[in-house]
Structure 1
Amino acid sequence: MIRTFSILLIFQCLGEGLVYLTGLPVPGPVIGMLLLFVFLLMRKTEAAKLVPGVQTLLGHLSLLFIPAGVGIMVHGKMVMEEWLPLTLALIISTAVSIVVTALCVKWLQK
C-alpha cells in the first residue's frame, strides 16, 4: 500500500515539476497521470504489483468528495447567487464529456 501510494505521489510530483519548468497550461497531476500511464505501458509487470494498493485506495475514494461538500456548504450563499452560471457549466461540461467519451470509444472500436 505504501509502495503504491509512493509511486502515485512520485508521478504527481514529476508532473508538477514538468508544469513548473515548462509552464504548460495543464494541471501537474494530469501530466503525472500521463507519465504513469507511459511508465506502466513500458513496464507491464509494475501494473500487476500496483493493483492491490490501488484497489484499497479506490475503496476510500469517497473520502475525496468531503472537501468539495464542505466547500459548497461553507460558500452556500455564493453558490445560490451564482446558480445559473454553475448550472450551465455543469450541463455543458457533462455534455462535452459524453460526446468526447463516445467519440473515443467509437475511435477505439475501429
Structure 2
Amino acid sequence: MLNGILWLVGCQLVGEVIARGLELPVPGPVIGMVLLFIALSIVKPPESANVFRVSDALLRHLQLLFVPAGVGVVTYLAVLRSDALPIIGGLFLSWLAGLAVVGWTVVLFTRRKGTVR
C-alpha cells in the first residue's frame, strides 16, 4: 500500500517540479496525473497493484476532498456576490465551449469509424 502512495505522491511531486521549473500555466498535480497515466500505460500493472488499491481507497472518500473548496466558497462569498454576473457568464460560456468540443469530438470519431455519414 505504501508503494502505491509513493507512486501517486511521487508523480505529483515531479509534476510540480516541472510546472514550477518551466513556469507552465498548468498545475503541477495535473502534469503529475498525465505522467502517472503515461507510466501506467507503459508498464500495465495488474489490477491488484498497490497504486490501484490506493486510488480506489481515495476515490471512496472523494467527498472529503471537496471540503476545502466549500470552505473557500464560503470565505469568498462576498467577492462572489459582487462579481456574480461575470462569474455566471464565464461558467455558461465555458460550459457551452465544453459541450461544443465534446459534440465535435463525437462526430469526428463516429465519422472516422464509419458509423455516421
TM class by shorter chain equals 0.7 to 0.9
In 1, Cα distance between equivalents of 2:79 and 2:85? 11
Measure, in 1, the Cα distance between the counterparts of 2:47 and 2:31.
18
Greater displacement, 42-51 / 61-70: 42-51
Alpha carbons of 1:86 and 1:62: their partners in 2 closer, same or farther (altered >3 Å)? same
Gaps of 5+ in 2: 113-117
CA 1:86 to 1:61, structure 2 compared with 1: closer, same or farther past 3 Å? same
Post-superposition CA distance 1:13-63 (Å, at most 9, x none): 101111222222221111111111110111001665122221110011111
Let me know the Cα RMSD of the aligned residues: 2.0
How far apart, CA to CA, are the structure 1 residues paired with 2:104 and 2:54? Answer: 32
Give the aligned residue type for 1:71.
Answer: G
Equivalent-residue separation in structure 2 for 1:8 and 1:69 (angstroms): 24
**Once the two structures are aligned, what percentage of the paired residues are identical?**
35
The residue number in structure 2 matching 1:101 is 102
| CA 1:10–1:22: 2 relative to 1, 3 Å | same
Q: Does 1:9 align with 2:9?
A: yes
What SS does the corresponding residue of 1:26 show, helix, strand or coil? coil
- Please, which moves more after superposition, 80-89 or 41-50? 41-50
Distance 1:69-1:52 versus aligned 2 partners, 3 A rule: same
